[in-house]
Amino acid sequence: MHAPSHQAHGRFVAKMFADIVPMYDGLNTVFSLGIDSLWRKRLARAVAARPGDCVLDVAAGTLKVSAVLRVMYPETKVLAMDFCRPMLEKGLAGGGLGPQHIFLPAVADALALPLADNSVHAITVAFGLRNMRPRQEALHEMFRVLKPGGKLCVLELGSTQERIMLGIYNMYLERIMPAVAKAFFRRKGAYRYLAESIAAFPPAHAVKEEMEAAGFCQVTFSRMTAGIVCLHEGMKHAPCCPGC
């Protein structure tokens, strides 16, 4: 019996990220011209966590966002989860972080989070939503574990279904990024997949509709760096939330 396509996709993506772990953070900095750290800080600020809150970082990768959350909100608990174990291990080994800093680094699939209903105050996802299939199932799962009044903050690259920076961004992703990755790191295939996943990711207004379909209210999005990156935010309705 053949595995469902979304399971096969998950295994493929996990292996791909495991293969590029040694160069992942460095390439992100190179390809973003160093702006990626500012994007992560913007994502963390959007969380607006309070002392005692529990924040779940989904698709945590090498724990870059988790680390920013711990610095910005030292009195919160940060749960870091990713389905690629080598990425988490790289973050723990190389970032000066350990279990005492990240409350629960765990291998987990965003489609089946090992958490109870209504258990976390906020969720962050940085550059991971486009890798989740079916995406609507992942959004429903994140909605499930959020407490009423909780917030989902998603940082994602702009879709090449939109023309960004007069098409320069589109050409950069489709041609330049894979070529550079192949020339210097012999990983053209992995970065070609990343470019293709961005091309397949829907425009911001469609992501807003998907979040609303999953149950989120007060859904907004804001474009950064001329639309290269978009920050999506949505709330899980609470009894006191008007209009939800």
Q: Is the peptide bond before 134 cis (omega within 30 degrees of 0)?
A: yes
Query: In sequence order, what are the beta bridge partners of 199?
Result: none
Residue 232 sits at φ, ψ, to 5 deg, of -105, 135
Superfamily covering domain 5-17+34-158+203-236: Vaccinia Virus protein VP39 (3.40.50.150)
Most confident of 30-39, 97-106, 128-137: 128-137
Alpha helix (H) residue ranges in the chain = 5-19, 21-31, 36-47, 64-72, 85-94, 135-145, 168-171, 177-185, 188-200, 204-213
Query: In sequence order, what are the beta bridge partners of 79?
Result: 56, 104
Task: Find, among 202, 213, 208, the residue nearest to 231 by Cα.
Answer: 208
| pLDDT at residue 16, rounded to an integer | 85
Read off the pLDDT of residues 79-106 as tens digits, 9 standing for 90 and up. Answer: 999 999 999 999 888 755 554 556 667 9
- What single letter denotes the amino acid at residue 134? P
Other C-beta atoms lying within 10 Å of the C-beta of residue 31: 18
Read off the pLDDT of residues 133-162 as tens digits, 9 standing for 90 and up. Answer: 999 999 999 999 999 999 999 999 887 777
- Is the CB of residue 69 less than 8 Å from the CB of residue 78? yes
DSSP for 49-72, written as a single string:
--TT-EEEEET-TTTHHHHHHHHH
- Is the CB of residue 113 less than 8 Å from the CB of residue 82? no
Both tokens assigned to 209:
């509709």
pTM of the complete model: 0.88
